[in-house]
Chains A and B, each alone.
Chain A
Amino acid sequence: MKRKGLCFYLRIYRKILAQDLKSKMSYRADFIISTLGMIFTNISGFVGFWILFRNFPSINGWSYYEMLFLYGFSLVSITPVQCMFDNNWSLRQQVYSGDFIKYCFRPINLFFYYQSEVFDIKGLGQLAFGIGTIAYSWCHIDIAFTPLALLKLIVFIITASLIMIALQNAAAASCFWIQNSFYVLDLAFRFKDYAKYPITIFSSVFRFIFTFIVPIAFIAYYPSLVILRPDEVPILSWLSPIIGVAFFFVSYKIWMHGAMKYNGTGS
């Protein structure tokens, strides 16, 4: 048997993705309504943001456009979790009904095989919205747009998204241990709403909590400082890529451990 390396998995993912997109197109109504739903979510999020902050030139030293940048950053960084790990949302039902077992018989990585099954294309609308918000706010803040800055932005968005993915994975995996895990997943998903505010608004205790215990400050705040405050980047911002990768790895281990444990409970 040939070794299954990264190339093997990339090829499989590409093929499953292509097939999945093809079949998605056959549910046209669902596709359109979901896309509309996504647009509505983003617009209403933006309207809420606008109602809140339009009256204030700055909050806690953060200008309106800097806040908007953070907002856009958080939108982009949660796109991967939305697009590529959406099957986590059905994990609970699959486990509950016993259907989950069917993923366990293939000679490839279980986590990969499970997540590859669904690609949620409507998340791309959010990506566009997020990029638009970042671009618009960048025009209004006094920071030069250089290729290096763009590169930094991309690298830090990717690592920030790993944190969100990790939180989602761990939350979804809770269904292997507890029965009604929907609340856990829903809670983790709500983190994205909390992540879009600068952490400086919190008192020091909660700054600590949101940095080290529930690390939602890494979803947007710390990584985006690299762009927004280039002269005073804290060490935690530079560390965020490592933290992102580490968290992802840990969440993957939890997920796999849960899956094996679940099968052990028999059905």
Chain B
Amino acid sequence: MRMRKYLALTRAGIIESLQFRLSFVVMVIGNLLYLIVVYFLWKAIYASAGTDVVSGMTFSDTLIYLVLATALYNFMEMYAVWEIGRNIQTGKIVLDLLKPMEYRKLLFWSYSGTFVMQFLFTFLPTFIVVAIVTHGAIPMGINLLFFGLSVIIAVSINYSIDYIVGTICLYTESIWGINIMKQVIVLLLSGATVPIAFFPEPLKTIVHYLPFQSIYNAPLSLLLDADPQPQKVLTTLGIQLFWCVSMMILSKAFWKASLRQITVNGG
């Protein structure tokens, strides 16, 4: 029964996003343009490299990776930092805190409707198109299951990071500055713009010790792995799970410790 109030929020979100039919069209056009740019850019790069394999990835590997990373990004980006920041600035946060639901959950489930829509309308079509166009370059096996699991964990890590960054808005009035910093750091270090395989060695090492690569790089490498070794899969998922739990604890603790700030600001 507890799940019911959450699902009510999901449904409301779906209805709300259906009213904005044009934004779907725009989103699709935007993604298409991006994919075109990515396609031709990498084609040019591989052409000038003169070899079929660069940094251990073929052209189609790279393309699939980047296309799906973008699709994942569109699906996972919830603009939660903006929302928290705006709620803090307008004082609406005080009302939200009075609702009989933890703010962290309220926000997440309010967005879950958009999640469902994004998944159905952007990620799934992209995935199918890529699978068809590349003639089975995406392995269809047990790896899909690992990928699904990994994405769910990734969503949670991403949300925790957003929530931590959003909490910082309690201390400063700078929503834009904080949000943009988060966005560029996450996008670059998670391997969403350039696959981590292309990073120079020292940078690669640093990135492996950070939580960001668990968001995009982890699920995508699981997906593209045709012959998953149990040990490798478990390590990847294990690291993700580790970051998932620790970021969740961190974000909850940070929020709790920061709530006092609201009363100081006077709403």
- In the complex, B178 has a CB within 8 A of chain A: yes
Interface residue ranges, B against A (CB under 8 Å): 19-20, 22-23, 26-27, 29-30, 33-34, 36-37, 40-41, 43-45, 47-49, 54, 172-174, 176-181, 184-185, 187-188, 193-194, 198-200, 203
Q: Looking at the assembled complex, report how far the CB atom of A177 sits from the nearest CB atom of chain B, in whole angstroms.
A: 8
A-B contact pairs, 17 of them (CB 8 A): A29-B174, A30-B173, A33-B181, A34-B176, A37-B174, A40-B181, A41-B181, A44-B187, A48-B194, A51-B194, A52-B198, A59-B44, A60-B44, A122-B177, A179-B22, A179-B23, A180-B23
Of B29, B33, B172, which is within 8 A of A33 by CB? B172
Complex CA gap A45/B29 in Å reads 23
- In the complex, A197 has a CB within 8 A of chain B: yes
Contact indicator B178/A33 (Cβ below 8 Å):
yes
Contact indicator A36/B34 (Cβ below 8 Å):
no
Contact indicator A190/B20 (Cβ below 8 Å):
no
- In the complex, A47 has a CB within 8 A of chain B: yes
- A41-B184, A51-B199 given as contacts; is B177 within 8 A of A187 (CB)? no
Interface residue ranges, A against B (CB under 8 Å): 27, 29-31, 33-38, 40-41, 44-45, 47-48, 51-60, 122, 178-184, 186-187, 190, 194, 197, 201-203, 206, 214
Of B41, B54, B180, B200, which is within 8 A of A197 by CB? B41
Q: Which has the most chain B C-beta neighbours within 10 Å: A27, A56, A186, A214?
A: A56
Known: A37-B177, A201-B44. 15 other contacts (CB 8 A): A29-B174, A30-B174, A33-B178, A34-B180, A36-B177, A37-B178, A40-B180, A44-B184, A178-B20, A179-B23, A181-B23, A183-B26, A183-B30, A194-B37, A202-B36
Set of chain A residues within 8 Å of B37, measured between Cβ atoms? 194, 197
Contact indicator B176/A37 (Cβ below 8 Å):
yes
- A183-B26, A187-B30 given as contacts; is B188 within 8 A of A56 (CB)? no
Complex CA gap A33/B164 in Å reads 16
Q: Looking at the assembled complex, report how far the CB atom of A96 sits from the nearest CB atom of chain B, in whole angstroms.
A: 12
